[in-house]
Amino acid sequence: MSKPAYKRILLKLSGESLLGDLPSGIDYDRALAIGREIREIHEMGVEIAIMIGGGNIFRGVKGTRVGIDQTSADQMGMLATVMNGIALQSALETAGVMTRHVSAIEIKSLAEPFIRRRVIRHLEKGRIIIFSAGLGSPYFTTDTAAALRAMEIGAEIILKATKVDGVYTSDPMTDKKARKFKTIRYIDVLKRGLTVMDATAISLCKDNGLPILVFNMDQRGNIKRAVLGETIGTRVY
C-alpha cells in the first residue's frame, strides 16, 4: 500500500454528497458508499475529521428568499447538518469505523460539544470526527467552519469534495469554455471571485498557509487518490 501524503486531514463534504439520485434528503446507500471510501483511508493510518453541510435538506439562503430572517434560516441549516452528521456516523460505523459526532450546537443526547483537546485525542486514538452545525452561529458557512476547525485540530490540508473535478474560470456546467486550474493561489481565488469556498474561509487558509484540494467526489476512489498525493482536482495554495 502506498504511503499517504498526509497524517491528518479535514474532509469537507457538502450535504449534496448524500443525495445520490434523490432530489432532496439522504440516500443512505450513498452514505454507505462514502463510509466505505473513508474507511479505506482510515485503514492507511490517516487521522480524519469531516465537516458536513446540510444543503440536501435545507439551505439558509433558500429560507431567506421566502421571508425567513437570516438568523432563523441559518439555524435551520445548522440543524440540517446535524441530521446529516447522524446519518454519516451510522454509515461509518456500519463500515466498521469508530466515530465521534461533534456538534457546535449543544445537543447532549445526540453529539458531543466541541472541545479542542478532546477532539484531538479522539483523532489520536483512531476515531473519525464528524463536525456538524458549522460554528454554531448564523452568518458563517460550513466552509468557514471547515477552515477554522482544520486549523484548530492541526489538519495538514482541507479536502473539499464537490460535483466538479476542480476549480474553473467559470461554471463548467454552464460554460463550455471554462478552463480548469491545476493550481491557483488564494489571492487569485479572491481577486477572481471564484466559488471555491467563501471569501472568509479562503482568507483564513491564506493567513495560515493551509492548502485546499478541490476534487470530484462522484468518482470513486478520489478521496484515496487525494490522500496519497496524486495529481487530481485543483490545489489552492
pLDDT of residue 171: 85
- Residue 76 above 80 pLDDT? yes
* Helix/strand/coil for 184: strand
| Residue 63 pLDDT class (50, 70, 90 cuts) | confident
| Residue 91 pLDDT class (50, 70, 90 cuts) | very high
Is the dihedral angle over the CA atoms 111, 117, 118, 121 positive or is it negative? positive
pLDDT of residue 1: 57
- Residue 61 above 80 pLDDT? no
Provide mean pLDDT across the span 118-138.
Answer: 98
CA distance 49 to 227: 13
| Residue 112 pLDDT class (50, 70, 90 cuts) | very high
- Residue 167 above 90 pLDDT? yes
pLDDT of residue 65: 80
CA distance 71 to 141: 12
| Domain boundaries of the chain, sorted by first residue | 8-236
**Which residue carries 493567513 as its cell?**
207
Contact (CB, 8 A) for 60 and 74: yes
CA distance 225 to 38: 12
Contact (CB, 8 A) for 26 and 87: yes
Contact (CB, 8 A) for 213 and 166: no
CATH superfamily, region 8-236:
Acetylglutamate kinase-like (3.40.1160.10)
Provide mean pLDDT across the span 169-195.
Answer: 92
Provide mean pLDDT across the span 28-32.
Answer: 96
Contact (CB, 8 A) for 13 and 34: yes
